[in-house]
Every structure is written in structure tokens, then in C-alpha cells.
Structure 1
Amino acid sequence: MILACPHCHGLNRVPDTRLSDAPSCGRCKSPLFTGAPMELTAENFDAHAVKSELPLVVDFWAAWCGPCQSFAPVFSAAAEEIEPGFRFGKLDTESQQALAARFGIRSIPTLMVIKGGKILGQQAGAMPKQAFIQWLKQFS
């Protein structure tokens, strides 16, 4: 499986059977899985959404959004619980307006699962942790 590093965004080849063995990046030597969402930007988005073979769960959010703020701990807890099955990333729609426009984001929070550049699923609005994890299981 091809994985993008959450630190340097370099691509790494990791056998599927070794995903849970705490693999490290071949370029920067940092862990490929941190158990925490990473910040997505125009510079690193395609490495994770298009080139990486791991499904990317994106939380489109903004700092001024109350529901986004209340969902943030749920998103982080889910990342800690079910990574390495998915890569988790947060995309600030205020600072990354071109990416938000590319995906037609009209309300936040919007959750999206992307793999190989294709949208596998999309959900508008926050949800409880168990409902969120249940929603994600259909994409694993």
C-alpha cells in the first residue's frame, strides 16, 4: 500500500500486513501513523487524497463554527481509535478556500471520505462518535 507521510508528505510503500506495526517514513523517519488528525492544505492535500491508497477522512471546518468546535474532539478520538484503517485530516475552509470550493463545500462541518481522488462518501453536520465510526466502517 502507498501511504503519504503526515509530516513530510513523502510517499511510502508499506505492506498491508505491516500497517499496524508502527511503520516509519523512509524520507523523514517520522511515524506514518500518529493517532491524530493532520492539517490539510493545498500543498499536501493531493499527496493524501489522490496518491495515497489509504482512505482519507476529511473534516471541512472553520474556527468560527460552533458545531465544528464541538465535533473536533469526536474527530480526534475517532482518529486515535481507528487509525491505521483511515488517515484523518482537518481542512480549514477559511484558510483553504480553493480546496473548499473544489469540493463544493456549502455547510460546515462537512465530512468526506476520499480514496484515490474519488469521493466515497460525504456527510454534512456533526455526529456522535459511535455514529461517526459506524458511518466510516462502510468505507473500510
Structure 2
Amino acid sequence: VTVEQHIGNIFMFSKVANAILFFRLDIRMGLLYLTLCIVFLMTCKPPLYMGPEYIKYFSDKTIDEELDRDKRVTWIVEFFANWSSECQSFAPIFADLSLKYNCSGLQFGKVDVGRYTDVSTRYKVSTSPLTKQLPTLILFQGGTETMRRPQIDKKGRAVSWTFSEENVIREFNLNELYQKAKKQSKPREEGPEEPPGTQAAAGHPAEETKKDK
């Protein structure tokens, strides 16, 4: 758990405690405080990441097609929702990873499961307001899922996992995947240089020379 998550939890519990105190003092004050908190959450959302990245954004119609297009390509896909603060915190980390590791054989993608709910159903990513599955990172090799974080236990609950750059690199073996993808990438074939040929004379015909006797 990161320091930012600890601070966020402290603020959340303090708001809940304040709401309980206001309701015990005066129900009208409690309702007013609760209304102000809701308005604040709806109007003061953290800004979305707008920095550089090498990420392809999928829709519900393109994700399956893109994953199956070339089975030689390994994909790391983030399933996210814009309303999730955890997803917003992870966005610059995922973008930075894409800048470092993206190549023709290892590519990064994102799909908004808050918008495309059928994608969340197909890939079994919960979008409940209380879910611990956002964001979810899934590794696809040969068009098939080979691993995901966070993992889901037998009871269907997400196993706690910290979405840091170091954890993603280690758990998904990004250095190894990158080197393997670079080796498998075929270099561009360049045609052999054509030797410079003699250009045919154009225009005037060759002049006949006369030998002096």
C-alpha cells in the first residue's frame, strides 16, 4: 500500500466520522454535510492523464479483433474506468511503461470498462463501485490471457496488489518480454542497391567521325 493510498484512506474515514457526528448532533446538519460531500466528489474530479504514451485504446468492437490480428504480438491491456481514483493514479505509470517497453512485438492497450460494460463481463472484470479489480492488467500472448493482476481468489475476491512500476516490471517480466519481442521482430527488408548503369544517350544521334587519309 502506497503513502497516497494511506492518505486517501485517512481522508475517507475522517469524512465518514464527521458525517456520523453531524447526524448525531442534528440530522439536518448531517444531511447538509452529506450533500456537500456528494457535490464535491461529483464536481472536483482529479484531472485525467494527458501526457505522452504508446497505448492503443480499444472499444468493445475492436479489442477482440486486435488481440487476434497477429498472434506473434504480446499485449498488456489495462482495464480501467475514468471514475476510479486508482486507475487515474496508475495512468502515468502505465504510460511511462509503454514509452520504455513498446515495440512491434510487445504492445500496450487500454479499454474503458466503465463505458464498455460488455467487455468487463467478457473478461470478468468487476466494475462495482466497491470493486478492488480496477485497474486490472491482463497479459495476452498468442491472443490468449496468460496472467492478470490483481489475481482473483476462489471466492471471487481480488487479491491485494500494488500497481507500482517496479511491481509491473517484475510480475510481468517486462524486461524478458521486451528482449524476446525484439529478437522475434523481423528487420525491414531493404532491396539491394542497384549498381549505377550507363544512361543511354538521348537527343542527338552520335556523330560520325572521318579519318584523315
1:105 aligns with 2:125: yes
Number of residues of Structure 1 aligned to a counterpart in Structure 2: 107
For 2:98 and 2:118, locate their aligned partners in 1 and report how far apart those are by CA, in whole Å.
25
Query: What do the CA deviations read for 1:87-116 (whole angstroms, capped 9, x no partner)?
Result: 111110122111111011022111101123
Structure richer in helix, relative to its length: 2
Q: 1:69 aligns with which of 88, 97, 107?
A: 88
Matches within 5 A, 1:1-140: 36-52=54-70, 53-84=72-103, 85-106=105-126, 107-124=133-150, 126-137=162-173, 140=177
- Amino acid aligned to 2:116: Q
Offset, 1:35: 5.2
- Look up the match of 1:28: none
For 1:60 and 1:46, locate their aligned partners in 2 and report how far apart those are by CA, in whole Å.
14
- Amino acid aligned to 2:136: T
For 1:120 and 1:79, locate their aligned partners in 2 and report how far apart those are by CA, in whole Å.
19
Offset, 1:51: 2.3
Consecutive unaligned residues in structure 1, runs of 5 or more: 1-33
For 1:87 and 1:126, locate their aligned partners in 2 and report how far apart those are by CA, in whole Å.
22
Contact conserved, 1:65 with 1:108, CA < 8 A, in 2? yes
What SS is found at the alignment partner of 1:76? Answer: helix
Structure richer in strand, relative to its length: 1
- Runs of at least 4 residues off by over 3 Å: none
- TM-score between the two structures when normalised by the length of structure 1: 0.68
- Rg bigger for which structure? 2
- Amino acid aligned to 1:44: T
Contact conserved, 1:40 with 1:89, CA < 8 A, in 2? yes
Consecutive unaligned residues in structure 2, runs of 5 or more: 1-51, 127-132, 151-160, 178-213
- Amino acid aligned to 1:123: R
Offset, 1:121: 0.7
**Change beyond 3 A, Cα 1:91–1:45:** same
Offset, 1:60: 0.6
Contact conserved, 1:48 with 1:56, CA < 8 A, in 2? no
For 1:87 and 1:101, locate their aligned partners in 2 and report how far apart those are by CA, in whole Å.
23
